[in-house]
């Protein structure tokens, strides 16, 4: 089963009206390293397989932080639910997305006779198990991650909510925190930032058991996108507005090429972004489907 990519391009009226009679003659390329990470591919392929067979599948939270991809799957029968709806469901089948879930979700599913289709990313599952093992040793656990993020909630659940989550070292009181900690990170955070935080803690005399479980398929895109962005006159960064990874990588592109624009759908395209004969590069987040980048490429080529 492969993710659908044969989607026709119909330009929205606001984009169609920008085409004019004279073509800009743009050269448009897609970054071959952009698009879904393997964890997202795994989750969506599982969802599509079940939807083809059964026509209905519940998913706890957005299967991916990209509205266009979510809408595509909803047309196939995917229904996104939250925790309140989960608590009311019985005898159903529910997909666990790549972000993973805390133990409380599995407990509730068992109580309500819910069949879980677990598409948790293997990298996330490995991290959950390591945090759980560390917590059982009664160590102080600190997690570098985004407050309230689905993956972070799953990690926090391994400690019964007792780990400390922080987005910036400025949130920590370095004078009063334990003198020995175990440091973990959300899998999609920057390795550079993670190791910078580690150094700051050590410089403050804190003994740190460093656990680097950051996904390199995600973190390595930082370097690759800096190089990609410099090769083009204009960069179109395709991402859902809910994607944390997208926001970070968009800034990476913007720092390398000031003519970088965020695009979440075809309707966001603007002809005034381009000059005749320009080279345009299209790239995206780990939650951005290739079919959407291809739509953006085709629409841009026709301006």
> Which of the residues are catalytic?
151
**SS3 letters for the chain?**
CCCCCCCCCCCCHHHHCCCCCCCCCCEEEECCCCCCCHHHHHHHHHHHHHHHHHCCEEEECCCCCCHHHHHHHHCCCEEEECHHHHHHCCCCEEEECCCCCCHHHHHHHHHCCCEEEECCCHHHHHHHHHHHHHHCCCCCEEEECCCCCHHHHHHHHCCCCCCEEECCHHHCCCCCCCCEEEEEECCCCCHHHHHHHHHHHHHCCCEEEECCCCCHHHHCHHHHHHHHHCCCCEEEEECCCCCHHHHHHHHHHHHHCCCEEEECCHHHCCHHHCCCCCEEEEEECCCCCHHHHHHHHHHHHCC
């Amino acid at each position: 089963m492969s993710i659908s990519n044969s989607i026709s391009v119909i330009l929205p009226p606001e984009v169609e009206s920008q085409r004019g009679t004279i073509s800009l003659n743009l050269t448009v390329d897609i970054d071959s390293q952009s698009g879904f990470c393997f964890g997202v591919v795994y989750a969506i392929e599982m969802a599509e397989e079940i939807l083809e067979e059964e026509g209905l599948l519940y998913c706890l939270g957005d299967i991916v932080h990209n509205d266009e991809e979510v809408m595509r799957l909803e047309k196939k029968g995917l229904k996104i639910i939250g925790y309140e709806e989960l608590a009311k469901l019985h005898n159903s089948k529910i997909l666990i997305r790549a972000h993973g879930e805390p133990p409380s979700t599995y407990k509730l599913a068992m109580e309500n006779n819910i069949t879980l289709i677990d598409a948790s990313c293997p990298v996330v599952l490995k991290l959950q198990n390591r945090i759980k093992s560390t917590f059982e040793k009664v160590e102080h656990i600190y997690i570098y991650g985004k407050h309230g993020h689905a993956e972070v909630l799953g990690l926090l659940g391994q400690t019964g909510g007792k780990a400390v989550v922080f987005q910036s070292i400025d949130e920590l009181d370095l004078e009063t925190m334990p003198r020995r900690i175990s440091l973990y990170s959300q899998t999609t955070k920057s390795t550079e930032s993670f190791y910078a935080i580690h150094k700051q803690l050590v410089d403050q005399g804190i003994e740190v058991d460093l656990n680097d479980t950051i996904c390199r398929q995600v973190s390595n895109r930082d370097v690759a996108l800096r190089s990609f962005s410099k090769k083009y006159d204009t960069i179109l960064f395709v991402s859902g507005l809910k994607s944390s990874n997208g926001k970070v990588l968009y800034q990476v592109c913007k720092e390398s090429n000031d003519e970088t624009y965020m695009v979440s759908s075809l309707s966001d395209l603007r002809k005034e972004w381009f000059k005749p004969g320009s080279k345009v590069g299209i790239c995206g987040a780990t939650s951005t489907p290739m079919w959407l980048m291809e739509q953006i490429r085709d629409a841009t080529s026709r301006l």
